[in-house]
Amino acid sequence: MDAIKAFLTRGVVVKAIINGMTFDGSTKDLMLVAVRDALIAFMAATAQAQAEGAKEAQKAGIAYAKAKEDAYRGRKPSFIRQQVHTVRDLLAKDTRIAEVARISGLTELTW
């Protein structure tokens, strides 16, 4: 909002894309300046309230999803614990990467 006021005091014309409103910074009529500033303040307050409402709705949605027992917890791992141990043991023995992949049944990108 401060940036818009700074532009308007310099005489810049500001056009709102969403609602098509035009705010003329070159006007000298005090009544028009007061109405313009009130509209801009109202639009800023509305946007702030909408942003805060969206954040609250997001928090509520996250809390609801976490409370569900059958909630999505992400993709299942593409490997099992035994494969991890096998890869770790083979790498500790300086086994070639291709050989580790063949023995463990995993691709190099998996680990």
Residue-number span of the structural domain to which 34 is assigned: 2-67
Residues of the chain under the 70 pLDDT cut: 111
pLDDT value at residue 111: 60
| Pair 80, 63 in one domain | no
Pair (61, 15) in one structural domain = yes
Domains identified in the chain, total number: 2
3-state secondary structure of 15: strand
pTM for the model stands at: 0.53
Pairing of strands 13-15, 22-24: antiparallel
CA-to-CA separations, 66 to 1, 57, 60, 63, 72, in angstroms, rounded: 37, 14, 10, 5, 9
Q: Is 61 in the same domain as 13?
A: yes
Q: Indicate whether 58 and 83 sit together in one domain.
A: no
Instruction: Answer yes or no: do 56 and 92 share one domain.
Output: no
pLDDT digits 0-9 by tens, 78-97: 888 999 899 999 999 999 98
Same-domain check for residues 60 and 86: no
